Structure 1
Amino acid sequence: MNQLFNKFLKKKVLNQEEILNLSVELALEWEQNWNQPIQARLTKKLPSLTAIELDELNRKSKEVLSTGFEIIRTTLGKLTDKGETIKEKDLKADFERELTAFYPWISHANIKSICNQGLYYSWKDGLGECVK
């Protein structure tokens, strides 16, 4: 019986990839947390992280989002300039390949969220007409 309680009481230790993905997930949050530093929210989930580690994770997550959004903007801009179109599923597949080339550790859920947010802002800026 004691082993059963120990199993449930043990906290899972996250590996580096899981911590990076958690950081990106927090950076992707909407509403009051949109585009806000993640350190305080990350500390609640992982209190053992140092201030230096928290700052680095905040920087890295912003870098990942910025890179993802730039991939979308650049791709849609080129297609628009050429008067070409792309199927949304093909755009998302190309985006996933390109983003994972930069960040092989990124989760599928984060790739999907970054792509969707990047598309939202690109469409808002008038670059979505090439997506069919």
Structure 2
Amino acid sequence: MHSEIREQPFEPYAELLKYQQAMHAAGRYGATAVFVGSMREFNEDETVTAMELEHYPGMTEKYLHNLGEQAAARWDLINSLILHRVGRVKPDDAIVLVAVWSTHRKDAFEASRYLMEELKSRAPFWKKEQTSEGQRWVENNTAGY
């Protein structure tokens, strides 16, 4: 189980391939569930040109680590990966990559969804959007469940 916060842009599918190859688990998993979240150029009916993602150093890393451990305790997982951006993000940039490897698809799908919903609703990240009207803090995330 690995989690990491990144300040620089990343290519999610290259990261996925690199991590999967380094796992040395070929033949052990039958399912890989992957979610990539990217920045949209709109929110609340306004154009968004950029966003600052802030986090609480130390606390956020610990939260992500514990989240991966909770998923592993709840589902039969071989491995998981969470990469999350902070800093300045532009439309189309990847913000988050969640990948889960399991023997069977049910565990992979359910664990992946759990990780994403927890990230969106409880992880200590704060978003400030830049719009044509100025800057604003994002107060509510979109509902997932």
Higher normalized strand content (fraction of residues): 2
> Which TM-score applies when normalising by structure 2?
0.27
Specify which structure has the bigger relative contact order, considering alpha-carbon pairs within 8 angstroms and separated by 6 or more residues.
2
Higher normalized helix content (fraction of residues): 1
Find the structure with the greater CA-based Rg.
Answer: 1
